[in-house]
Amino acid sequence: MSENAKQMILTYSQQGCELRERFFQDSAELVVEAARTMAVTLARGGKILFCGNGGSAADAQHLAGEFVNRFMLERPPLPAIALTTDTSILTAIGNDYGFKQVFSKQVQALGDQGDVIMAISTSGNSENIIEALRVARDKGLITMGLAGLTGGEMAPLCDQLICVPDKSTPLIQEVQISIGHLLCRLVDYYLFEAVQELQPYMASMGEAPDGN
């Protein structure tokens, strides 16, 4: 291995470690709040919708799979849908209405009041993400965002926003999937390991999870 190649690896690794550590030191509570909201939504019979473009589309599918199958805990499947996976739907909407609506029309069809939509983006400025969040708000979904820097145009459309403070798309995405894994872990924790911690939030909505 050349010294230049080795130094590239070590520099990139250091930058990633520093960003990850800084983010979680500063923003751990935002991750907890988002996971709690997801857990309450699922306990009330709602579902989680995920959307994103490119690498963020892969993250959307990844996280939906963790909910529907399992993460680390053996537990019942949890309802989650990645709006990035059905090529017939995506191409039909893209062909007839344009790429801007590939997620928003699915939100119209599949989203119910009280569900959560998690929009994943590094820039926060993708038109189809913005449109999906607008439709979600109109339908009464809880809008969440995973973004870079300050969230871009999606920021004012998100009830809960988690921003990774960096300009590097690869580093942002690496922290975002760590956030996603922690959301999966914390949702399992609230629903199946520490139901009592979720009860005050459920009680405020007139319901309580049974822990089964």
Reported as a single tens digit per residue, the pLDDT across 8-30 is 999 999 999 999 999 999 999 99
pTM (two decimals): 0.93
Sheet holding 142-148, edge to edge: 80-82, 48-52, 116-120, 142-148, 160-164
pLDDT at 211: 47
Reported as a single tens digit per residue, the pLDDT across 180-211 is 999 999 999 999 998 888 888 877 655 544 54
Question: Mean pLDDT across the stretch 67-85?
Answer: 97
Buried b (16+ CB within 10 A) or exposed e, 12-48: eeeebeebbeebeeebeebbeebbbbbbbbbbeebbb
- Residue 116 neighbours by CB under 8 Å, 6+ apart: 37, 38, 41, 46, 47, 48, 49, 141, 142, 143, 144
3-203 — its CATH code?
3.40.50.10490
Reported as a single tens digit per residue, the pLDDT across 113-166 is 999 999 999 999 999 999 999 999 999 999 999 999 999 999 999 999 999 999
Q: 3-state DSSP: the chain helix, strand, coil percent, rounded to 5?
A: 60, 10, 30
